[in-house]
Chain A
Amino acid sequence: MVVVLLVTIIVFGLSRLLPGGPARAILGTHATPTNIAAFNRENGLTGPLPAQYWHWLTGVLTGNFGFSYVLNQPVSSLLAERLPKTAFLAGVSVVLAVLVAVPVGLYQAVRRGRADDYAVTTVTFVLYSTPAFWVALLLIDILSVRLHVFPAEAPQGSFSAIFSDPGAMVLPVLTITLVTIAAFSRYVRSSVLDELAQDYVRMARSKGTTRRAILLRHVLRNALSPVVTLLGLSLPFILSGTLITEEVFNYPGIGLLAYNAATQQDYPVLLGVVLVVGIATVVGSLLADIAYALLDPRVQLASDAGAGR
């Protein structure tokens, strides 16, 4: 809760960074002092900063995120329209990334130091080190331009367009999945390696449990709980990747909304996206913490559970 409040303070503070204040940024450089004063009065930008913050915060709590003067729409309706699309894109990609990264990481840990471990490590290293936009454009080049398998543009229009044209979703999802797999599988690998060195593994082996059973029943479960935390924490990282991907494939989510807002200096929209994404991340990592406690009985959701994060 405190963190959410801090996020709102940060976003409010960011709006004060604008040269000449929000009024001049929105009304333009030719605005007269009279116009600016009128704008400030209308939007509660008079009086001391804490009062302005309070006015803004109560607005946000009642769903008033400001108004986009470029798109001539309230920011809240823009967000409501775009947010599900990004959530869908990021969600599908992350689920796929986890489904691939966990077995790959587990396999690498078991085959540690062998040729195939090195081969996979090399691939993930290179993938992790390649700018996401290049990955996206290489995918377009190969799968779209040369092989004509998938279209290079994401589905446009309403949310349901995603389902009527699933082929067009493949490349955006693949881009985010690939970049995320690279980061996740490295983490799973070292997480499993740490678990393999634990006493309970030797114990299980000495009482005759099969390798397979040890790996799947004991090691994997313990190694996965930190992955859940990683998921919560990497939400901002994934959304950064989503922003690039949405820009490349012209996918109408909040990433593209933020990008267009930035190029058109549509600050209310940009700050609205920052606020919503920030709060979503806080909620996401809170959920991850709860899931972590459910997966790992050693962790107690004590009063100071937040302090460890």
Chain B
Amino acid sequence: MSIENVTTVLSGDEPGGIAEAEASGGWLWLRSFTANRLAVAGLVVVVVLTLFSFLGPLFYHTDQIHTRIGMETLAPGPGRPLGTDDVGYDQLGRLMVAGQTTLEVAFGAAAVAVLVGVAWGAVAGYLGGFVDALMMRIVDALLAIPALLLLLYLATVFRPNVLMLIVVVGLTAWLVPARLVRAEALTLRSREYVLAAKTMGVRTPTLIVRHIVTNSIGTIVVNATFQVADAILVVAALSFLGLGIAPPATNWGAMLSNGLNYSYSGYWWLVYPPGIAIVITVVAFNLIGDGLRDAFGLDTRRQ
């Protein structure tokens, strides 16, 4: 494992004494993470699928723009390892292109969700009092509305494309990180070093970024991982409801729900490749998240 090498190098290079103890303390989570085989396996799956989706098309050239009449739903055979879909696209090449959008939207939505959530939660938790109460009641109110229902509404108002999906999915998912970070901020704000910084005249925005957010990083990273997994499932559900991305763009969820129209025609290659891709990617991100959570020593119930 290359990551393990990095940790060893990083902690080993430090001169002895306190410095070494601190260095290995700071990187301890990484060692603990790499000791978790399932989490490492999850990471490998994510890396492989990312390479497959983004670098795959460089080696395996297919036409994913023009439909080909007369080449529909061909079974896997020479020159088409996974056959063709219902409009003649090569299924393996399609899986790569769909993987790109799936991962882009999932990572993008998770990033939006975490950025907004962290900012909201850190400010609310740090300021406390009335501002906190108001901000968190807004979170409660938004949490009460099922995300899928809200997305259903937003997706009918705004025509979905990749960017729109990222924003819309992200903006329905930021509530959980907001709550988690707010809880962290509540305990951090009364720590001595935060009080010391405050007394020294550090400005509030700087203080929130430098001390509150930085010290909640474990919670944030773990949640971000779960957010990616959830975003993939949410986008798949939206695609199934017919509110996904318009063709020729696609994602795994759209491929799966399209393939399911043909489940009784025996076209298994339209269903299982995208379906399994979704399942193993989501499982992988959940495993990584669990591994990171254990590595950071966070309370399992809070996530």
Contacts and interface: CB of A to CB of B under 8 A. Distances in A.
B144 A279 contact: yes
B301 A130 contact: no
Given A259-B152, A277-B149, A3 B144 contact: yes
Interface in B128-154: 133, 136-138, 140-150, 152-154
A273 B300 contact: no
Which secondary structure dominates chain B's binding surface? helix
A278 B153 CA distance: 14
A125 B286 contact: yes
B141 A134 contact: no
B137 A3 contact: yes
A146 to B, nearest CB: 10
A274 B152 CA distance: 10
Given A2-B137, A239-B146, A14 B286 contact: no
Contacts of B237: 131-133, 240, 244
B249 to A, nearest CB: 19
A243 B238 CA distance: 11
A236 B264 contact: no
B240 A258 contact: no
Interface residues of A, number: 55
Contact of A244 (B143, B148, B279, B301): B148
Chain A at the B interface: SS class:
helix
Contacts of A277: 144-146, 149
B136, B153, B154, B242, most chain A CB atoms within 10 A: B153
A236 B145 contact: yes
A156 interface: no
Interface in A1-49: 2-4, 6-7, 9-10, 14, 17-19
B235 to A, nearest CB: 10
Nearest to A271: B153
Nearest to B236: A131
B145 A281 contact: yes
A247 B81 CA distance: 33
Contacts of A274: 145, 149-150, 153
B256 interface: yes
B233 interface: yes
B278 interface: yes
Interface in A259-300: 259, 262-263, 265, 267, 270-271, 273-274, 277-279, 281-282, 285
Interface range on chain B (Cβ under 8 Å from partner)? 35 or more
A137 B287 CA distance: 26
Interface stretch (A64-72, A190-198, A199-207): A190-198
A307 interface: yes
Given A131-B237, A281-B145, A307-B133, A187 B301 contact: yes
Nearest to B176: A233
A217 interface: no
A168 B142 CA distance: 34
Contacts of A213: none
Interface in A219-276: 226, 233, 236-237, 239-240, 243-244, 247, 258-259, 262-263, 265, 267, 270-271, 273-274
B288 interface: no
B184 to A, nearest CB: 15
Contacts of B138: 6
Contacts of A128: 282, 286
Nearest to A134: B275
A126 interface: yes
Given A3-B141, A17-B157, A130 B279 contact: yes
Contacts of A131: 233, 236-237, 240, 253, 256, 275, 278
Nearest to A237: B146
A240 B233 CA distance: 12
A129 interface: yes
A145 interface: yes
A19 B153 CA distance: 13
Contacts of A114: none
A25 B278 CA distance: 36
B241 A247 contact: yes
B229 to A, nearest CB: 7
**Closest 8 A-B residue pairs measured CB to CB?**
A6-B141, A129-B282, A240-B148, A190-B300, A281-B144, A236-B146, A278-B144, A131-B236
12 contacts: A3-B144, A6-B140, A17-B157, A129-B278, A130-B275, A133-B237, A134-B256, A239-B148, A262-B156, A262-B241, A270-B153, A281-B145
Given A226-B301, A278-B141, A307-B136, 13 more contacts: A14-B153, A128-B286, A129-B282, A129-B286, A134-B260, A194-B299, A240-B146, A247-B240, A262-B152, A263-B156, A278-B145, A285-B144, A309-B140
Interface of A: 2-4, 6-7, 9-10, 14, 17-19, 125-126, 128-134, 137, 141, 145, 187, 190-191, 193-194, 226, 233, 236-237, 239-240, 243-244, 247, 258-259, 262-263, 265, 267, 270-271, 273-274, 277-279, 281-282, 285, 307, 309
